[in-house]
Amino acid sequence: MKICFINPPFKPEHGKFSRESRSPAIGHSGVLYYPLWLIYAAAVAKECGFDVAFIDAPAKQMNVEQTLERVAGEAGDAKLFVFDTSTPSIFSDVEFAGMIKERYPEAFTLLVGTHPSATVEETMGYSSRIDGIARREFDYIVRDLAIALRDGTALSEVKGLSWRNGDAVVHNPDAEFITDMDAIPFASKFIKEYLCVTDYVFAAAAFPSIQIFTGRGCPARCNFCVYPQTMHGHRYRLRSVESVIEELEYIVANFPEVKEVVFEDDTFTISKERVTQICQQMIDKGLNKRLRWLCNARVNLDYDTMCMMKKAGCHLIIPGIESVNQQILKNIRKGTTVEQIEKYVANARKAGLMIHACYMVGNEGETRQTMEETLAAAMRFKTDTAQFYPLIPYPGTEAYDWAKRNGYLQGSYADYVHEDGTLNCVISTPELSAQDLVDFCSRARKKYYLRPWYICHRIWNGLRDFEDLKRSLKAFKKLKQSVFR
């Protein structure tokens, strides 16, 4: 039996829409994330003996007609179609899935992702051509559904599935989170067979790069973060050190063109002991001389671990700083302190690690003064790169509930991005309008990136690191369109 996994087309005329970014959109710097969650589910299905087709429309900037042609050529006999989704594209995603259902009425159409997981009844109500939704972590749900369809067994036995039974929508019991993470096939092996690494861009990484997960879930409780709240929960479930190292060795052996690995775990550095073990293995096996890597790292990361990571080939860490106002950090349940942020930045510089700092405005307690304080701190920290974004509250998160409860949300899901696919601001508070937040982020980017220190810093770094120079030139080419606008 064949299963067709589809990352559907969305605004291809404007760029590559990145569904699995934490804020799905067409990025200013040309970023396109690998559709990793879809990849892992497809890899599980393939390992279980199913024939798999995988179509990533945004990666090739395919429109609807082109994608339908690919489906007809590669998966017209599929009995199960699995569609990736996102909040900004959900209406388009449902419409495209409906087109597939019209062409292949005997096949089962299944939506996956954060948005339908958080809005099951609502999403199922959009179209009768949607047969089901796999709620939350869906690797094994897709597998179990495929087995049921192949063998003709009851869909009611598939945990984690919501499905259409006549005019009713049936919600099966929740599926358990996957605990044996080593049982999940390597994303890199699937990528090698089905995708092209040069289609994907992670702006902070050398090009081309490859993204993998070494664990799922995040113990932090940030009220805005969508994946822990809607998909993978707050328990950090880990792959073994041996499994991670084996995949890195596979990447070195099979992707000679890949220059960097992105550990896309919500917070790779939760366990100091595990990070140290992975780093030591990378050093012992010489992987640190073959691959650069970067990761998400909370601001509680200590100096000694930073030094170990640097020695093992890490060149950049990504913290969610968000704000330097302690009350705001408390309001959003960030679980960090301003003192930690200050120490983190100083230690990273001392350890020789670059920082891509993430700042967010518009959270509970935000004022014009607190935004200016955050910008002043960002200028003072002088991290290698920085991003400034308004809060984007996604369904299923506490931030969304807060915004909706107080009447701060504007527009529909389609308004989460502009017509050109770039991020839009959908929140307006009594203190700050959506336009105030957008204007601040635009001004902050200009002030941050167009100062003489920063330009000299990037040139100096580029002279010492050619990959960094290429990355900077490419990012600036993309970024200037928004900065000067």
Condensed to tens digits (0 to 9), the pLDDT of residues 2-47 reads: 999 999 999 999 999 999 998 999 987 789 999 999 999 999 999 9
Say what the pLDDT of residue 454 is.
Answer: 85
Say what the pLDDT of residue 474 is.
Answer: 58
| Share above pLDDT 90 across residues of the chain, in percent, rounded to a whole number | 91
pLDDT in tens, 212-266: 999 999 999 999 999 999 999 999 999 999 999 999 999 999 999 999 999 999 9
Q: What is the CATH number of domain 183-484?
A: 3.80.30.20
Say what the pLDDT of residue 472 is.
Answer: 59
Say what the pLDDT of residue 389 is.
Answer: 95
Which residue has better confidence, 181 or 467? Answer: 181
Does 463 have pLDDT greater than 80?
no
pTM of the prediction? 0.94
CATH 3.40.50.2300 correct for 2-135+138-171: yes
Burial profile 337-361: b = 16 or more Cβ within 10 angstroms, e = fewer: ebebbebbbebbbebebbbbbbbbb
Query: Which is it for the CA torsion 402, 404, 405, 406, positive or negative?
Result: positive
Does 485 have pLDDT greater than 60?
no
Mean pLDDT for the chain? 95
Domain with CATH 3.40.50.2300 in the chain: 2-135+138-171
Does 415 have pLDDT greater than 80?
yes
Say what the pLDDT of residue 481 is.
Answer: 57
Cβ-based burial of 396 (10 A; exposed 0-12, middle 13-18, buried ≥19) = buried
Say what the pLDDT of residue 479 is.
Answer: 56
Say what the pLDDT of residue 40 is.
Answer: 98
Domain with CATH 3.80.30.20 in the chain: 183-484
Q: Which two tokens stand for residue 475?
A: 């990012």
Say what the pLDDT of residue 460 is.
Answer: 73
* Phi, psi at 124, each rounded to 5°: -65, -25
Say what the pLDDT of residue 466 is.
Answer: 61
Does 366 have pLDDT greater than 60?
yes
DSSP assignment of 337-350: -HHHHHHHHHHHHH
